[in-house]
Amino acid sequence: KKMSCSQWCGSCLGGLNCCGKVEFTERTIYLGQPTSTKFPRNEVKNTKYNAVTFVPKVLYEQFKVFINLYFLVVAITQLVPSLRVTYWYTSWAPLIFVLFITMCREANDDLKRRWRDNEVNSGRYRKLTPEGVVTVTADKIRVGDMIYIEKDQRVPADVILLRTTEKTGSCFIRTDQLDGETDWKLRLAVSSTQKLVTDNELLRCGPSIYAEKPQKDIHNFIGNFYTAIPSSTEEPLNIENTMWANTVVANGTALGGVIYTGSETRSSMNTNDAPSKIGHTDAEINNLTKLLFLLTVALSTSLVILKGISSQWYKYFIRFIVLFSYIIPINLRVNLDLSKIWYSICIHKDEHIPETVVRNTTIPEELGRISYLLSDKTGTLTQNEMVFKKLHLGTVSFGTESFPEVRDHLVTEYSSATRSGSKVRKTLSYRVKESVRALAICHNVTPSGSEDSSADGFDNQAVELPGLNEKVQYQASSPDEIALVEWTEEVGLALVYRDRQLMKLRTPTGTIEELEILVIFPFTSESKRMGIIVRDTNTGEITFIMKGADVVMANIVQYNDWLDEECDNMAREGLRTLVVAKKTLSQEQYDDFERRYNDAKVSITDRARLMRQVQLTLEGDMQLLCVTGVEDKLQPEVRTTLELLANAGIKVWMLTGDKLETATNIAISSRLVSRMTPIYTFKPVKSRTEAHNELNNFRKHNENALVILGDSLMTCLEHYEQEFVELAMLSPAVVVCRCSPTQKAAIVNLIRTHSGNKPVAAIGDGGNDVSMIQAADAGIGIVGKEGKQASLAADFSITQFSHVGRLMLWHGRNSYNRCASLSQFIIHRGLIISVMQAIFSAVFFFVSISLYQGILLIGYSTFFTMGPVFFLVLDVDVDSKIAMTYPELYKELQKGRVLSFKTFFIWILISIYQGTAIMYLGILLFKEDFIHVLAITFTVLIVTELLMVVITVRTWHWAMAVAQIFSLGCYFLALIFLPEYFDPVFLTSKDFIIKFVALTAASCLPLFIMKYLRKRFAPPIYAKLQQSG
């Protein structure tokens, strides 16, 4: 796998290709010793620029925009005397101002990113060296270093776990910033180094690590650990010995050997570089300016031809181009940039969505036309807090309110029943006890004691068990299992001790029940179940307990008539279901199983398959004990928000790294999939034939919600990309499970490509969501339990999922509407004066002289009209209550009709009409006194622009009125202090006033009448709602 220099040497020239291509290689690392091989610096870098690249990159990005490039060329022509048609500063000043504003904004945004990066890079860690323990910052860590990582501290690089303060050699890590799951993962220290008495002995044994070449796969690793002293040893390494960068140590203190740093870490390789985003509205405006350029060229060409072709025709052509440069107004970019800053401030100040931050001020209007929202699950839709809700025994069900009855049954059974060989009558209390006991045994949960317990872990010989009323703390790789064990503790049967061989339960009567752990069958996404075989140390009874998904357990348990129905009922309630069963084994049965299982475990080939076959011999005719229902608590108002987005025409896809069953349950409970919508679960496919067959099956159910595994999705895209995407887009909801960070980003790009370039938003809260967020047109990060990595990399940062509704339906609506109105109005302002210039030139024998000179041209687009036009950013078509009550209004924005070729050509026609009316009628009215044409036409032009703002505005704001008065005041002062342009005597004459009113009426009255008729007989939907509201 090759990697660009921008990924390899992020510190050099901000990612310019200064050193060509670099190829990843495997490596042998000698721990604690300096290495001659150059590896990437261990720094987090989200910045786009550095001191060298800032100006070139900003200029490149700006002059990629056609309008800026056009005005650069125009400004350069004004430095040539023979091509100059007005003062040079009238072209250069606006261009320099635009670039200055842009550079200030980009510098501000990038400085904020740099400060955030420095917070991470300056994190301090202890490093073990031959000279002792020293302190280093995260960005100074190198491959081969041995780093101490404390509890709750971020792992700064990819490391091999060498030692831990836990005597068992195990260490839990939180991987939420890597894979989005807040479940704790178990990691094991290298056994040979864990056995050492002190850390310094590690330095004396000549340790080295062979590590495979860097890759994106976060679930696999191949390596070896070697020691040279006192003798040469080799120990294989796998994923259980690793701690990837951006994971967090959950217990104890770990000592890790660094194998990958910087851009070679798994976290960085699964994160794409932050792109420079250009919104759909900006792209559309860029296309419109290209049309305006063609109009400018066509108009200039026509006047040159009409003037007559001569040897100097190219000079006249360039002069006409410059004269009509106002058709493409350069201040359009300035006004749009300033308006977007204002929209960002409005979002930040909204009390309904507190602590919302706009990190990318260039695309707030994108929120107003989103068609697809791709959402993470864990921590985004859910709080990742599991709550035990229901226990069903077939004939009786216990819910939250009846859990005290469960405790009473346990007290009764443990107080009276004995576990002797005598026959026990299966009363309700006995069945409750067996079910609760199975839940307390069948899991991978470890009690960790109180928070202030020793960091050295448990001592099996002298452990102090928690008291009867003492709360036990638990660690596990799954919040589901913790919820089950916490519930059994709540009803009286508590797990108080566990290691790899022994488990201790505290009964409701305070006695301790000891169980020897014989075999554990771990949960896998393929088997969808887990099991455990235990021996009661008191009675010697051997029990096989299993729990799993109903789809697989239904074929394992004994016949019954209630399992399917009750599982369906719980699923409809949005609960995650588990079926629990048991089987009692005789000593002979277990001995036979153990012999065959151990034979399978030492097999060199097909080890996993052989072990699975032996396990299957136990799985049959098991006694069904119960069905449990656990709720993954949703974020506040998630159901309401998803319903709001659905009504607004926004399709929501859920992309999660979690397993299929969990994702399906959350999709149901959150109402992402409505109760009336059936679900189609796409079968796992690995080949072209399997994908083809499954696509044909799905085609028959394309009105169903789709649930699919990430690997199956990739297989379909490899062979049938177009067909799959078309079918998926017809589905009312899509859930993609076991989805890696790069797959999430790929899905975003896929939708953008095949949806006709419809805007796509992505929302998440974990480091694994960063690639998806950066790939989307609008990336939204949630600040939550999984940290701030997604929030810092996103365009918009919010504190909970429910805020996305108001962010899109209200602020997105306003930003898009206002951007469209502002841009079209500014284009109109440039067109109308250009039409007047064209008529002037045509009347006076196609002369290439400017109609208005110097200060008048600058004042026209600044002091005289800028205020009222810019304050269109305060205009709203409906209030927030109506926008949130009627989300269907958002569908009109998705069509992109607010800013389209239709509206563009309407404004062109308006500009042509008004420019022609003002200039042509002005010449006709003053043909006897032509010297006053300039004064009367310019005055009418200014007043027309101000009246057009009045026509355009839908909701008045006091600032708009102030801006109107200010602009009129500025123009009044210009009439007084610019006598070289305006004759004071003429301006006060009756003739001027009459003709001024006539020209203004001719220019604006027809538009006032058209607006009134439209409002009266064909008002838009939002206007009807606003009136009724």
Give the DSSP H/E element, type plus range, for residue 132.
strand 132-137
CA 48-54-60 angle, to 5 degrees, is 90
**CA nearest to 317, candidates 333, 339, 296, 293:** 296
Give the active site residues: 376
Half-sphere exposure of 694 (CA within 13 A, CB side): 25
Are 116 and 46 within 8 A, CB to CB? yes
Distance (Å, whole) CA 509 – CA 25: 61
Angle at 503 between CA 497 and CA 506, to 5 degrees: 65
Q: Which helix (H) or strand (E) holds 1010?
A: helix 990-1017
Tell which residue, 324, 362, 322, 317, has the closest CA to residue 344: 362
857: nearest Cα among 452, 329, 209, 414: 329
Structure tokens at 999: 């020209």
How far apart are alpha carbons 836 and 838 in whole angstroms? Answer: 5
Bridge partners for 446 per DSSP? 475
Q: Tokens at residue 49, please?
A: 């620029």
> Strand pairing partners for 136?
125
Q: Are strands 705-709 and 679-681 parallel, antiparallel or unpaired?
A: parallel
- Range 477-504 burial, b when 16+ CB lie within 10 A, else e: bbbbbbbbbbbbbebbbbbbbbbeeebb
SS (H, E, C) 622-653: EEEEEEEEEEEEECCCHHHHHHHHHHCCCEEE
Q: What is the DSSP letter of 729?
A: H
SS3 assignment, position 521? strand
Q: What is the sign of the dihedral through the CA atoms of 366, 368, 374 and 379?
A: positive
Give the whole-angstrom CA distance, residue 628 versus residue 649: 36
Q: What are the beta bridge partners of residue 520?
A: 532
Sign of CA dihedral 413, 414, 416, 418: positive
**Tokens standing for 836?**
């007047």
Q: Give the type of residue at 390.
A: K
The 3 state secondary structure assigned to 455-518 is CCCCCCCCCCCCCCCCCCCEECCCHHHHHHHHHHHHCCCEEEEECCCEEEEECCCCCEEEEEEE
Residue 1009: how many other CB atoms lie within 10 Å:
10
CA distance 888 to 617: 57
d(CA 582, CA 521) in angstroms, rounded, equals 14
- What length does the chain have? 1029
What letter does residue 79 receive in the DSSP assignment?
T
Sign of the Cα torsion 908, 963, 862, 60 reads negative
